[in-house]
Structure 1
C-alpha cells in the first residue's frame, strides 16, 4: 500500500513538474517570438459612414477618450476614430474620422492602436525614405527634416515591440518645431528591418546595435546632438544604446514613452495578470537568461536581464530623461518608471498620466503630451553647456 502511495505521489510530482516546464516554455516563447498577428478584441456593433459614426463593444480601449487607429478584419483594414459620442450598457459610439483602406462595412471585429498616422505622407510634411546600414543589412527608415531645413540636432525614434516605425510619427511635430531632424527607424525582427539569425526579440539587449547604426547614420549626415526616444520596448532599447554605444557622447537627452525600464518588473506584472504561478514566472526568467534555455526559447544567446534593469542601474545614467507613463498602463507597469524617477530626480522629469494606458498618451491628451516635450527640450542646451 505504501509503495502504491509512493508511486502515486511521484507520478503527481512528475506531472506537475512537466506542466510547469511546458507552461514556462510557452510563456518564454510568447515573449521572444515576434507575433504574426494581433487579436481583434473589439466587436463592431454598428456603422454610419454618412454620419461618420461607428458603434463598438465597450472595452478598456474603446472607452478611452481621444483619437486612435482602428485596425479591423485581421489588420486588412485601417480607420481613424475620434472622440466618444455616446455610451450605454450595450456599447460605445465614436466619431469615425477616416477610413484609410479596407472594407469597414463588411468588418465584424477590430482593435485599437495608438499609431494614428500610417506614413509621413499623412502629416503633409517633407520626408525621405532612407536606409540605415546595420550589421544585419540595410534597414528602412524615414527622415523628416527640421522646420527650417538646416540643423545639426537629430532625434532618433525607436518603436516598441510588435509594432513598426509608424508608431513614432506622433512625436515628429514637437521635435520639428524645436529644430530637430527626425529619423524614424526600423530594427531587427520588426517585420521591416532584416531578421536576426534566431528571429527572436532580445528585449533591447541586441536591438540597440541597430539604434547605434542609426546614430552613425545621423552623424554621417551632420548630427552633432542626438536625442533618443523610445516607446515601450524601444525605451529599453535606447537605454542600452545610451549606455553601450561608442557614439553615446553625442546623446544630450532621452525621451521615454511607456517604457520598459525593468524587464523583470514587466514580465512579473504580465504573469500575475495572467494568473501564472510564481514558480512559472521564475522558470521563464531562467529560460531567457540561461544558455541551456536556448533549446526552448530559440535564442542565439541568452539575455542579460540584469543589464536591462535601469532601476538598479539608475546611478549609471547621466543624461536628462523625460519620462512619460500612464499609471494605469495595463501592459508595462509604471512602477519601474516611478522608481527611476524617485531614484534620479536630478535628471528625470516624470510626466505622469492617468487613464491613458499603454503608448496612447498622445492619443488621450495630445496637447499635454506635445507640450511636455516642447517644454523639456530647451533645457538640453543648458545641460550641454
Structure 2
C-alpha cells in the first residue's frame, strides 16, 4: 500500500473516531439538557398528585397500630398526619411503638376518613390538624384581595388582641394548614394569626402560567396579606414562612416598602434560601450529578427555557438569593433548621445567619425532618418562638 493511501485511510479513521466522539458528546449533552428541563419543570410546577413513599405493611385498628416499612420518615419522632389513597384518606399517627431493621410500628391516634386497613401506601405530613375548627377558640374565614383576585385565609385572634399579627406563609406543595402548628404559641403570647393562601397553591387564584415563581412572584400575595392585616388593626407584623414560604417571605421583605412599614420580625422554619443548592441536593437524591444544578438554573433563567418549562417569565436564581441582599434586612429574624432536613439543605440558612449575626437568631436542630421541627419536639419549638417573641416587646 502506498503511503498516500495509508494516510488517507488513517485520516478517514481519525475523522470517523472524531465524529463518533462528537456524536457521543452530543447525545450526552442532549440527555443532560432533557434531564435539566424535566427537573426545572418539576420544581416550578405545583404537584397535581402527591407521592406516597411510605409502604404500609400491616394495620391493626383494634390495637390502634400501623406497621410501615423502615424509612427516614417512618422513623421520625412525634405525631403526624398520614395521608393515603391519593389524599382520599387521612389518619393521625403517634409515637413509635417498636422499630427493627425493616419495619416501624407506630400508634394510630385516629382515622379521620378513608379505609386505612385497605391502603398500601401513604405519606407522612407535619400538619396534624386539618383546620382551625379543631381548636377550642373561634376563628374567621376571611379573604385577602390579591392582584389576581380573592385568596382565602383564616384569622385567629388571641383572647385580648393588641394589634400584633403573625402572618403564616406555607411552603411548596402545601396549604395554609401547615401553619396551624404555630397558632397556640402565637395566641398564647397575645398575637393574632393570619394563615394565607397564595397563587397556584390550589386555593388562591392561579397565575396565567400556573407555575411557581420560587418566591419571585408569590411575594406580591404576601404584600396583599400585610395590607389586609393593616386594614384590620395590625400595628406590628411578623412574617412566618415554612420551606418555600420562607423564601417568599424574604422576597416580600426585600422587595416591598409596604411590607417593611409595619414589620417587626421574621420567623423562618426550614426555609428555602439557596435554590441552587436545593437543586443540587435534590438532583443528587435522584442520582444525578451535582453539576446539573447549574444547567437547571440556566434553563429557568433563559428565554428558551421559559418556553420549555411553561413559566411566563425567566426565573433568575441569582436574583432570588437573599444572602446577597442580607445587608438590606432591618428586623430580627428567628431561623430554625434541622441538619437532618432531608429536602432543603441547611447550608442556605447557615449562610444567611453568618451574613447577619446581628439580626438572625439561628437555632440548629438535629433529628427533625423538613418542616417537622414542631412534630419532633413541640416543647422546644414553642419555647424558641416564645423567647424570641418576648424579646420583641
Structure 2 length as normaliser, TM-score?
Answer: 0.94
Structure 1 residue aligned with 2:6: none
2:157 corresponds to 1:156: no
- Deviation per CA, 1:142-196: give whole Å up to 9, x if none: 1111122x32111100000001111110000111111111100000000111100
1:287-306 equivalence runs, <5 A: 287-306=299-318
Q: Determine whether 1:4 maps to 2:10.
A: no
| Paired position in structure 1 for 2:231 | 220
**By how many angstroms is 1:21 displaced?**
1.3
Contact 2:171-2:244 within 8 A present in 1 as well: yes
Task: Name the SS for the 2:344 alignment partner.
Answer: coil
Structure 2: how far apart are the matches of 1:346 and 1:278?
33
* 1:312 to partner: Cα distance: 2.3
- State how far apart, in whole Å, the 1-side matches of 2:159 and 2:339 are: 34
CA distance in 1, matches of 2:291, 2:268: 31
The superposition leaves residues 236-295 of structure 1 with CA deviations (integer Å, 9 ceiling, x where unpaired) of 000011111232120100000000122112212222332323443211101111223211
What runs of 5+ residues in structure 1 fail to find an aligned partner? Answer: none
In 2, Cα distance between equivalents of 1:241 and 1:6: 52
Distance (Å, rounded) in 1 between the aligned partners of 2:226 and 2:114: 37
Which of 195, 199, 204 is the equivalent residue of 2:210?
Answer: 199
**Cα RMSD for the two superposed structures:** 1.2
Unaligned runs of 5+ in 2: 1-12
1:15–1:109 Cα change, 3 Å: same
Aligned 8 A contact 2:276 2:294 in 1:
no
SS in 2 for 1:157: strand
8 Å Cα contact 2:154-2:194 kept in structure 1: yes
> Does the alignment pair 1:182 with 2:188?
no
Residues 48-79 of structure 1: per-residue CA shift (max 9 Å, x gap): 22222111111101111100111111111011
> In the alignment, is the contact (CA less than 8 A) between 2:276 and 2:293 conserved in 1?
no
After superposing on structure 2, the runs of 4+ consecutive aligned residues of structure 1 that deviate more than 4 Å are none
Q: In structure 2, how many angstroms separate the alpha carbons of the residues matched to 1:379 and 1:105? A: 48
Q: TM-score, normalised by structure 1?
A: 0.96
Rounded Cα–Cα distance in structure 1 between residues aligned with 2:299 and 2:387: 43
> What SS does the corresponding residue of 1:371 show, helix, strand or coil?
helix
- The structural deviation recorded for 1:303 is 1.6
- Mapped to 1, the partners of 2:157 and 2:66 lie a distance apart of 36
Alignment pair present for 1:329 and 2:341: yes
Whether contact under 8 Å (2:280, 2:292) holds in the other structure is no
Q: 1:19 aligns with which of 22, 25, 31?
A: 31
Which residue is equivalent to 1:234?
245
Partner of 1:274: 286
Q: For structure 1, which segment, 277-286 or 179-188, has the greater mean C-alpha deviation from structure 2 after superposition?
A: 277-286
Provide the aligned length of Structure 1 versus Structure 2: 380
- The 1-side partners of 2:359 and 2:16 are apart by 65
Q: Which of 110, 117, 133 pairs up with 1:98?
A: 110
Greater Cα radius of gyration, structure 1 or 2: 2
Whole-angstrom distance in 1 between the partners of 2:286 and 2:63: 40
Q: Which residue of structure 2 lines up, in the alignment, with residue 255 of structure 1? A: 267
Secondary structure, in 3 states, of the residue corresponding to 1:210?
A: helix
Alignment of 1:66-145 (within 5 A): 66-145=78-157
Contact 2:280–2:291 (Cα < 8 Å) also in 1: no
In structure 2, relative to structure 1, the CA distance for the partners of 1:344 and 1:290 (3 Å cut) is same
How far 1:124 moved relative to its partner? 2.5
Moved more, 369-378 or 291-300: 291-300
Partner of 1:172: 183
